[in-house]
Amino acid sequence: MSAIMVNWLLIFSLLFLGRDSMKAQLTTSIVSLLLCLSVPIGAAETSSPTFQVTQRSELTWTPVPDGLGAEFAVLRGNPAESGVYVIRVRFPAGVMDTPHFHSQDRHVTVIEGSWYAGIGDVFDPTTAKEITAGGYMFHPAGAAHWDGARGDSDAVVQIIGNGPVSSEQSNSGEAMWVRVHE
Protein backbone atom coordinates (compact mmCIF):
# COMPACT_ATOMS: atom_id res chain seq x y z
CA MET A 1 0.00 0.00 0.00
CA SER A 2 1.47 3.34 -0.97
CA ALA A 3 2.17 6.10 1.53
CA ILE A 4 -0.21 8.39 -0.38
CA MET A 5 -3.04 5.89 0.02
CA VAL A 6 -2.31 5.55 3.75
CA ASN A 7 -2.37 9.33 4.19
CA TRP A 8 -5.72 9.61 2.38
CA LEU A 9 -7.21 6.84 4.52
CA LEU A 10 -6.03 8.56 7.69
CA ILE A 11 -7.40 11.93 6.55
CA PHE A 12 -10.70 10.27 5.59
CA SER A 13 -11.02 8.57 8.94
CA LEU A 14 -10.29 11.76 10.87
CA LEU A 15 -12.53 14.03 8.76
CA PHE A 16 -15.54 11.80 8.24
CA LEU A 17 -15.49 9.55 11.27
CA GLY A 18 -14.43 12.12 13.88
CA ARG A 19 -11.23 12.48 15.85
CA ASP A 20 -12.46 10.76 18.97
CA SER A 21 -14.66 8.07 17.53
CA MET A 22 -13.90 4.39 17.94
CA LYS A 23 -14.25 3.95 14.16
CA ALA A 24 -11.47 6.47 13.53
CA GLN A 25 -9.16 4.74 16.00
CA LEU A 26 -9.99 1.32 14.54
CA THR A 27 -9.46 2.56 10.97
CA THR A 28 -6.14 4.16 11.91
CA SER A 29 -5.00 0.93 13.60
CA ILE A 30 -5.98 -1.21 10.59
CA VAL A 31 -4.29 1.13 8.12
CA SER A 32 -1.12 1.19 10.24
CA LEU A 33 -1.12 -2.62 10.42
CA LEU A 34 -1.60 -2.91 6.64
CA LEU A 35 1.23 -0.47 6.06
CA CYS A 36 3.55 -2.47 8.30
CA LEU A 37 2.62 -5.72 6.57
CA SER A 38 3.08 -4.29 3.07
CA VAL A 39 6.62 -2.99 3.64
CA PRO A 40 9.17 -5.79 3.35
CA ILE A 41 11.77 -6.10 6.07
CA GLY A 42 14.86 -4.14 5.09
CA ALA A 43 12.92 -1.97 2.64
CA ALA A 44 14.18 1.12 4.39
CA GLU A 45 17.59 0.30 2.97
CA THR A 46 17.54 1.32 -0.66
CA SER A 47 19.91 -0.36 -3.06
CA SER A 48 21.35 1.52 -5.98
CA PRO A 49 20.69 0.16 -9.45
CA THR A 50 23.69 -1.51 -11.04
CA PHE A 51 25.10 0.47 -13.93
CA GLN A 52 27.51 -0.97 -16.45
CA VAL A 53 30.05 0.96 -18.47
CA THR A 54 32.18 -0.85 -21.03
CA GLN A 55 34.81 1.06 -22.93
CA ARG A 56 35.72 0.02 -26.46
CA SER A 57 39.21 -0.93 -25.23
CA GLU A 58 37.66 -3.33 -22.70
CA LEU A 59 35.79 -5.45 -25.25
CA THR A 60 36.84 -9.09 -25.47
CA TRP A 61 36.61 -10.22 -29.09
CA THR A 62 36.01 -13.90 -29.82
CA PRO A 63 36.45 -15.42 -33.29
CA VAL A 64 33.23 -16.60 -34.97
CA PRO A 65 33.71 -20.31 -35.81
CA ASP A 66 34.36 -20.61 -39.58
CA GLY A 67 33.64 -16.86 -39.82
CA LEU A 68 36.60 -16.03 -42.08
CA GLY A 69 37.96 -13.62 -39.48
CA ALA A 70 34.61 -12.32 -38.14
CA GLU A 71 34.56 -11.72 -34.38
CA PHE A 72 31.97 -11.02 -31.72
CA ALA A 73 31.98 -9.43 -28.26
CA VAL A 74 29.27 -9.84 -25.63
CA LEU A 75 28.55 -6.58 -23.84
CA ARG A 76 25.61 -7.72 -21.71
CA GLY A 77 23.56 -10.85 -21.20
CA ASN A 78 23.88 -14.04 -23.21
CA PRO A 79 22.10 -14.77 -26.52
CA ALA A 80 21.80 -18.43 -25.50
CA GLU A 81 19.95 -17.61 -22.27
CA SER A 82 16.66 -15.95 -21.38
CA GLY A 83 16.76 -12.16 -21.22
CA VAL A 84 18.08 -9.13 -23.04
CA TYR A 85 21.51 -9.37 -24.61
CA VAL A 86 23.81 -6.88 -26.35
CA ILE A 87 26.58 -8.09 -28.66
CA ARG A 88 28.86 -6.59 -31.27
CA VAL A 89 30.00 -8.31 -34.44
CA ARG A 90 33.05 -7.24 -36.45
CA PHE A 91 32.90 -8.18 -40.13
CA PRO A 92 36.32 -8.09 -41.87
CA ALA A 93 36.46 -6.27 -45.20
CA GLY A 94 34.94 -8.41 -47.95
CA VAL A 95 33.33 -10.96 -45.59
CA MET A 96 29.56 -11.51 -45.51
CA ASP A 97 27.23 -14.13 -44.13
CA THR A 98 24.78 -15.90 -46.42
CA PRO A 99 20.96 -16.08 -46.07
CA HIS A 100 19.87 -17.08 -42.59
CA PHE A 101 17.22 -16.20 -40.02
CA HIS A 102 16.89 -15.95 -36.26
CA SER A 103 14.27 -17.30 -33.86
CA GLN A 104 13.79 -13.90 -32.19
CA ASP A 105 13.66 -10.26 -33.33
CA ARG A 106 16.99 -8.44 -33.41
CA HIS A 107 17.89 -4.75 -33.52
CA VAL A 108 21.09 -3.93 -35.39
CA THR A 109 22.95 -0.59 -35.25
CA VAL A 110 26.06 0.07 -37.31
CA ILE A 111 28.84 1.27 -34.98
CA GLU A 112 31.77 1.53 -37.43
CA GLY A 113 32.20 1.47 -41.18
CA SER A 114 29.65 0.56 -43.81
CA TRP A 115 27.58 -2.60 -43.35
CA TYR A 116 25.70 -4.10 -46.25
CA ALA A 117 22.44 -6.01 -45.79
CA GLY A 118 20.05 -7.83 -48.04
CA ILE A 119 16.77 -9.63 -47.42
CA GLY A 120 15.44 -12.92 -48.71
CA ASP A 121 16.83 -16.36 -49.52
CA VAL A 122 18.87 -15.33 -52.58
CA PHE A 123 22.39 -14.11 -51.84
CA ASP A 124 23.49 -11.31 -54.17
CA PRO A 125 26.01 -8.91 -52.59
CA THR A 126 25.60 -6.39 -55.42
CA THR A 127 22.00 -5.74 -54.31
CA ALA A 128 22.81 -5.27 -50.62
CA LYS A 129 21.80 -1.94 -49.12
CA GLU A 130 24.61 0.07 -47.56
CA ILE A 131 23.97 1.14 -43.97
CA THR A 132 26.55 3.56 -42.58
CA ALA A 133 27.70 4.21 -39.01
CA GLY A 134 24.75 5.26 -36.89
CA GLY A 135 22.26 3.49 -39.18
CA TYR A 136 19.80 0.90 -37.87
CA MET A 137 18.07 -2.22 -39.22
CA PHE A 138 15.34 -4.34 -37.61
CA HIS A 139 15.52 -8.09 -38.24
CA PRO A 140 12.11 -9.69 -37.59
CA ALA A 141 12.14 -13.24 -36.23
CA GLY A 142 12.04 -15.86 -38.97
CA ALA A 143 12.86 -13.41 -41.81
CA ALA A 144 15.76 -14.41 -44.06
CA HIS A 145 18.57 -11.90 -44.53
CA TRP A 146 22.31 -11.71 -45.18
CA ASP A 147 24.87 -9.05 -44.40
CA GLY A 148 28.48 -8.05 -43.89
CA ALA A 149 31.32 -5.79 -44.97
CA ARG A 150 31.14 -5.81 -48.75
CA GLY A 151 33.66 -3.03 -49.28
CA ASP A 152 37.34 -2.70 -48.49
CA SER A 153 37.00 -1.83 -44.80
CA ASP A 154 35.73 -3.61 -41.70
CA ALA A 155 32.26 -3.02 -40.28
CA VAL A 156 31.14 -3.32 -36.65
CA VAL A 157 27.48 -3.70 -35.69
CA GLN A 158 25.76 -3.84 -32.33
CA ILE A 159 22.90 -6.32 -31.97
CA ILE A 160 20.27 -6.19 -29.23
CA GLY A 161 17.68 -8.89 -28.73
CA ASN A 162 15.97 -11.22 -26.30
CA GLY A 163 17.37 -14.68 -25.73
CA PRO A 164 17.47 -17.43 -26.11
CA VAL A 165 17.96 -16.92 -29.84
CA SER A 166 19.04 -19.36 -32.53
CA SER A 167 20.22 -18.88 -36.11
CA GLU A 168 19.45 -21.16 -39.02
CA GLN A 169 20.72 -21.21 -42.59
CA SER A 170 18.03 -20.52 -45.18
CA ASN A 171 19.68 -22.66 -47.85
CA SER A 172 20.76 -26.04 -46.55
CA GLY A 173 24.39 -26.88 -47.33
CA GLU A 174 25.39 -23.29 -48.14
CA ALA A 175 28.48 -21.92 -46.36
CA MET A 176 27.52 -19.49 -43.59
CA TRP A 177 30.42 -17.09 -44.30
CA VAL A 178 31.83 -16.12 -47.69
CA ARG A 179 34.40 -13.71 -49.13
CA VAL A 180 33.03 -11.31 -51.71
CA HIS A 181 35.06 -9.36 -54.24
CA GLU A 182 33.92 -6.34 -56.16
Q: Does residue 29 carry a pLDDT above 50?
A: no
Region 71-83: mean pLDDT is 98
In the predicted structure, residue 42 carries a pLDDT above the cut 90: no
Report percent pLDDT > 90 for the chain.
71
| 65 Cβ contact partners less than 8 Å away, ≥ 6 residues apart | none
Q: pLDDT tens digits, residue range 83-103?
A: 999 999 999 999 999 999 999
What's the pLDDT at 64? 96
Give the C-alpha separation, 52 to 103, whole Å: 27
State the DSSP H helix or E strand holding residue 34, giving kind and residue range, or none if neither: helix 22-38
What distances in angstroms separate CA 72 from CA 114, 145, 157, one per listed residue? 17, 19, 9
Condensed to tens digits (0 to 9), the pLDDT of residues 108-157 reads 999 999 999 999 999 999 999 999 999 999 999 999 999 999 989 999 99
pLDDT for 170 equals 97
Mean pLDDT of the chain: 83
When comparing pLDDT for 32 and 73, which is higher?
Answer: 73
Report the pLDDT value the prediction gives residue 27, as an integer from 0 to 100: 45
The domains of the chain are located at 3-38, 56-179
Per-residue pLDDT tens digits for 7-20: 433 333 433 444 45
Q: Residue 48: its pLDDT value, please?
A: 86
According to the model, what pLDDT value does residue 181 have? 77
What integer pLDDT is reported at residue 25 of this predicted model? 52
Taking a C-beta distance cutoff of 8 angstroms, is the pair 178, 118 a contact? no
CATH superfamily of 56-179: Jelly Rolls (2.60.120.10)
Provide the pLDDT for residue 151: 83
